[in-house]
Amino acid sequence: MATDQAAATEPTPYEQFESRIERISNIGNAAGILRWDQEVVMPEGGTPARAKQLSTLSALSHELLTDEETGALLETLEAEELTADQQAVVREVRRQYDRSTSVPQELVAEISEATSNAHPVWKEARAEDEFSIFAPTLEELVELKREYAAHIDPDADPYGVLFADYEPYIDLETAERVLERLREELVPLIEAIADSEVDLETDAFSGTFDDDDQEALARDVLDALGYDWDRGRLDTAPHPFSSGTQFDARVTTRFEEDDLLSSITSTIHEFGHANYTLGLPDAGYGTPLGEARDLSVHESQSRLWENHVGRSQAFWECFLPTAAERFPSLEGDDVTPRAVYESANQVYDDNLIRVEADELTYHLHIVIRFEIERALISGDLDVEDVPEVWNDKYEEYLGVRPETDAEGCLQDIHWSHGSFGYFSTYSLGSVLAAQLYAAAEADLGDLTPAIRNGDFADLNGWLREHIHAHGKRYTTPELIERATGEGLTADPFLEYVRAKYGELYDLE
């Protein structure tokens, strides 16, 4: 009897495993708060101490994950009968465990140091507009990341291994197929737009817009979309982001006094991320069941809200009166929902900068980075040749050639972080956004009237049910298949942009 009681109170292997991963999750979420604090409220002088705090949390989390006890528990559990949810948790942790234990700590430390050092070098190179300043650093990072990939899987395409750090379940071939398709279809569409004689309204919101009023309007937008203020907040940050958990998912934005529209679309974008996080199940907190699927799915949520909702004419039919209340200068006859819609969907065929790109040319910026990264990591492209290849590709795909490195291959921070493989998740997110939106409309009917009425409950309910509520229960392809009935495909995105831009630019 005494023995039975002891056995009854002894935690099962799954319970032990769960405690361990909840601990790892809580450390990660604590680190998330520290990073939010650093970006949003921390006084500048706090940097050295914050770096030490974050590095301690990261080391603790890594040690818990790679501890042999974790490995032993995984082996035990993989031999047990588990529920489907438990199996999913084990699958996710196994993946992280294998990746983390296969890379030697010295290499992790070396990469971490190299990327810390790379950031100021990249900044200087960009400021000086001189790629050769950054080239040796980029060379070193490429080399280190190749080595990293070889530790994880010496037989796999190293770029595929790196890509899987950001998007573990969509294989590289699928990503490549989607991106090629985008290139093939978007290049002629953008050319047709460039040839169009239609003159879209370019700047429906002209003028200067006070920060405080813009902030009030950003709160109006979040109110309109149904943001849960009891579990969130809005602040400003130099580089807007959203972060947190299902209990506390915060949004940041920024304001430019001459660009009201970009502050609104950026706020809607971050709402999309936060809204996904808020839809994760409370009960899953602390395990992968309560965590968001990876970058492409996250980006699908931000882009669905930003592009399919926030850049629609229906949304502006709903929201323009609110904007005009905050900014009486918008009450004139010229500022119509149609004019805002046109301004929000202008295609810029002479733009060199990814973060300023429109919904179409954006993907060619990504395709170029993807092709260059692949070639760099495979060794087919030398670092010193990056600027020329970059510029050639811009000329070929976008018809515009950067005249400087600063507005060419030095424009993005990602490579200084050693993040090779990240960029494509942005495009995959857009593609998936369109696919999900089409699937939602297939289930719910045309969403335009609801958006026009400011009623987002059905759309959000659909996303909650088909995406948010599942956390990491399914792999990304399973999640997409279950939500849309098919694998990841660019078709709905291409259909969406052809219809939208065909109408806007009067294409045949």
The backbone torsions φ and ψ at residue 286, rounded to the nearest 5 degrees and listed phi first, read 100, -15
Binding a second copy by CB under 8 A: which of 123, 181, 219, 231? 231
Q: Give the integer Cα–Cα distance in Å for 209 and 255.
A: 9
Smallest separation (angstroms) from a second copy to the CB of 278 = 9
Q: Give the integer Cα–Cα distance in Å for 407 and 244.
A: 33
Q: Which of 247, 348 has the CB closer to a second copy?
A: 247
For residue 14, state whether it binds a second copy (rule: CB under 8 A): no
For residue 341, state whether it binds a second copy (rule: CB under 8 A): no
User: Cβ distance 310 to 264 under 8 Å?
Assistant: yes
Please name the residue that has the structure tokens 């604590």. Answer: 30
Smallest separation (angstroms) from a second copy to the CB of 248 = 3
Q: What are the Cα distances from residue 491, in Å, to 9, 401, 434, 495?
A: 54, 29, 9, 6
For residue 60, state whether it binds a second copy (rule: CB under 8 A): yes
For residue 271, state whether it binds a second copy (rule: CB under 8 A): no
Taking contact as CB under 8 A, which single stretch among the options 34-42, 106-114, 117-125, 154-162 is the one that binds a second copy?
34-42
For residue 46, state whether it binds a second copy (rule: CB under 8 A): yes
Binding a second copy by CB under 8 A: which of 230, 333, 380, 508? 230
Smallest separation (angstroms) from a second copy to the CB of 456 = 20
Q: Which of 361, 460 has the CB closer to a second copy?
A: 460
The backbone torsions φ and ψ at residue 453, rounded to the nearest 5 degrees and listed phi first, read -90, 5
Strand partners for 245: 248
Binding a second copy by CB under 8 A: which of 13, 20, 53, 389? 53
Binding a second copy by CB under 8 A: which of 15, 49, 120, 329? 49
Taking contact as CB under 8 A, which single stretch among the options 21-29, 106-114, 126-134, 418-426 is the one that binds a second copy?
21-29
Smallest separation (angstroms) from a second copy to the CB of 452 = 30
For residue 233, state whether it binds a second copy (rule: CB under 8 A): yes
Strand partners for 243: 250
Q: Give the integer Cα–Cα distance in Å for 331 and 325.
A: 8
Q: Which of 9, 332 has the CB closer to a second copy?
A: 9
Structural tokens at position 342? 């046109």
Binding a second copy by CB under 8 A: which of 20, 22, 171, 404? 22
User: Cβ distance 79 to 63 under 8 Å?
Assistant: no
For residue 42, state whether it binds a second copy (rule: CB under 8 A): yes
- For a second copy, how many residues bind (rule: CB under 8 A)? 42
User: Cβ distance 394 to 408 under 8 Å?
Assistant: yes
Taking contact as CB under 8 A, which single stretch among the options 20-28, 380-388, 407-415, 416-424 is the one that binds a second copy?
20-28
For residue 228, state whether it binds a second copy (rule: CB under 8 A): yes
Q: Give the integer Cα–Cα distance in Å for 412 and 398.
A: 18
Structural tokens at position 222? 């979040």
The DSSP call for residue 421 is T
Taking alpha carbons only, the member of 219, 132, 122 closest to residue 413 is: 122
* Cβ count near 196 (within 10 Å): 16
Contact track, a second copy, 272-311, x by CB under 8 A = ----------x--xx-------------------------
Q: Which of 248, 373 has the CB closer to a second copy?
A: 248
Taking contact as CB under 8 A, which single stretch among the options 239-247, 253-261, 386-394, 481-489 is the one that binds a second copy?
239-247
b (16+ CB within 10 A) / e for 52-91: eeeeebeeebbeebbeeebeebbeebeeeeeeeebebbbb
Binding a second copy by CB under 8 A: which of 11, 52, 154, 334? 52
Beta strands 234-236 and 242-245: pairing type? unpaired
* Cα-based angle 250, 261, 452 (whole degrees, multiple of 5): 85
User: What is the per-residue DSSP string for 351-390?
Assistant: ---GGG--TTHHHHHHHHHHHHHHHHHHTSS-GGGHHHHH
Just list the catalytic residues: 270
For residue 37, state whether it binds a second copy (rule: CB under 8 A): yes
The backbone torsions φ and ψ at residue 506, rounded to the nearest 5 degrees and listed phi first, read 55, 50
Smallest separation (angstroms) from a second copy to the CB of 425 = 26
Which 102-161 residues touch a second copy, going by CB under 8 A?
none
Taking contact as CB under 8 A, which single stretch among the options 162-170, 224-232, 266-274, 414-422 is the one that binds a second copy?
224-232
User: Cβ distance 177 to 186 under 8 Å?
Assistant: no
Binding a second copy by CB under 8 A: which of 57, 121, 438, 469? 57
Smallest separation (angstroms) from a second copy to the CB of 34 = 6
Q: Would you tell me which residues interact with a second copy (CB under 8 A)?
A: 22-23, 26-27, 29-31, 33-34, 37, 41-50, 52-53, 55-57, 59-60, 228-233, 244-248, 250, 282, 285-286
